[in-house]
Amino acid sequence: MTRIAGLAGNRGRNLLRIAEREPGGAELAVVLTDDPDAPVLEGATERGIPTEVVERSDDSREAHDRRLLDALDGYDVDLVCLDGYMRVLTDEYLDDAPPTFNVHPSLLPAFPGADAHEQVLDSGVGITGCTVHIATEEVDGGPIVTQEAVPVYANDDADSLKTRVLQRAEFAAYPRAVRWFAEGAIEIEGEGDDREVRVERDATDDFPSRRMTNEERRAQLRYGENPHQAAAVYADPTSEATSVVDADQLNPEAKALSYNNYNDADGALGLIEEFDEPAAAVIKHTNPAGCAVADDLATAYERALATDPMSAFGGIVALNRECDAATAEQVVDSYKEVVVAPGYTDDALSTFREKENLRVLDVGTFGEQARFREKPLAGGRLVQERDAQVITPDDLEVVTEREPTEDQLETMCFAWQVIKHVKSNAILLADGTETVGVGMGQVSRVDAVRLAAMKADEHAEGKDPEGSVLASDAFFPFPDGIEAAATAGVEAVVQPGGSMRDDEVVAAADDLGLAMAHTGQRAFRHD
């Protein structure tokens, strides 16, 4: 275990945070200060950390540093961390002490010295931060270990900037430097002022050990998911992905997009980008109410809407072709919030602009899709690759006595592309290249089957579950889901397989005369 000594001049908030976080398993073994009234002493004592006071006196700097080393003796520390320790260390200390880190509240070599925040504000720069460096006799001049940047805002003063640098930069960078040291990622060579630092840094990698974002506020929104929640939308100016954030809004009479509009429109765009042929989807609360592929856009939209026209009310429409007048006339036949498409004919725009609250988003020619998806957590963020799986009939393993027909195999592939965009537990019924019923977000798979069947039986127009293909985003843990599907009239099933009871599930399908194929991979979606 790496043992740390902390040298603080006042509150020692960085040191106490390191003590609480124990980065890399490091332990704050002792806290020293030259001020017997320093608040850090109380904070350390409350945490059971030994303390030492080495007061200033009339002796030389070198003599004081010798007393400092004597106080450290016996604690067997590997690293010393300075935190607001406002004394320049001498060679007397530096030659004999363990490696010593200091944190400075600016991005060195810019703005060294005691008034860094005032220098930053006077300079007019838009970015500042902190630097963790090796302490040397040169003030704020030692080799840099790591840095962390934060923005400077127009209404900042020295106090607000100091708080942001501490909480957003120092609280990130100092524990990181300690963790790197504890994990052996830092190599320090040389002595005294001649020391050099080498840090083992990641090569270019999909998931680097440290991420930096570059986002700009695009708009302050009226509110968030609910009226009592404040919200804003941020844009990544470096992204090349097709995006609703950067889309042109072509209906000047419409209100600005809401938080929910952005969220649903993004989900709708992700679904519609799955298909090369003309396709349409209707989204509600980021779930597909219906989706279809057809020879022309108007037919695709008609079939998508017919899956669940009741749930489509107030939804988001997404199209993967330039929207023509025939499609636009159908869209405005019932209330919609947003239309997303890669372009619009003049006649289609004229139709949409008659609806003053319909947001009309032109995302331009489809380009690449974002490779990664992110989900914020309290205190962190999950990052994963976008689910880019695409299956073909050759990828499917038929596991039942009854073989799926060629048409059913094609429907399985269509259904699999759609179900990736349905909240788990998810069941989707399809016929040809159109959805028939969708059961989303259930905590039991058999309930998702029943919901999809009910939707198809009671809400769909001109179609029903009889003869449909069922897709399941994960395996069936019991035969009851298959039994419920057969009762609804399903004739073929596509699912990942992999359950402990696969044999029972397949046997049930055989007994009920269903065809079944396994994909060998699941399609969970939880956000």
Active site residues: 104
Cα 313–Cα 316–Cα 321 angle in degrees, nearest 5:
125
Among residues 186, 200, 22, 16, the alpha carbon closest in space to that of 99 is found at 186
d(CA 324, CA 170): 55
443: left (phi over 0), alpha (psi -120 to 50) or beta: alpha
Q: Which helix (H) or strand (E) holds 28?
A: strand 27-33
Q: Tell me the C-alpha distance between 35 and 45, whole Å.
A: 15
Q: What is the DSSP string of 31-98?
A: EEES-TT-THHHHHHHTT--EEE----SS-HHHHHHHHHHHHTTS--SEEEEES--SPPPHHHHTTSP
d(CA 286, CA 288): 7
Under 8 Å between Cβ of 300 and 326: no
Structure tokens at 407: 């048409």
Q: Retrieve residue 106's tokens.
A: 């600016």
254: which strand partners?
A: none
Amino acid of residue 131: T
In which residue are the tokens 């992700």 written? 270
Q: Would the CA dihedral through 403, 408, 413, 416 be positive or negative? A: negative
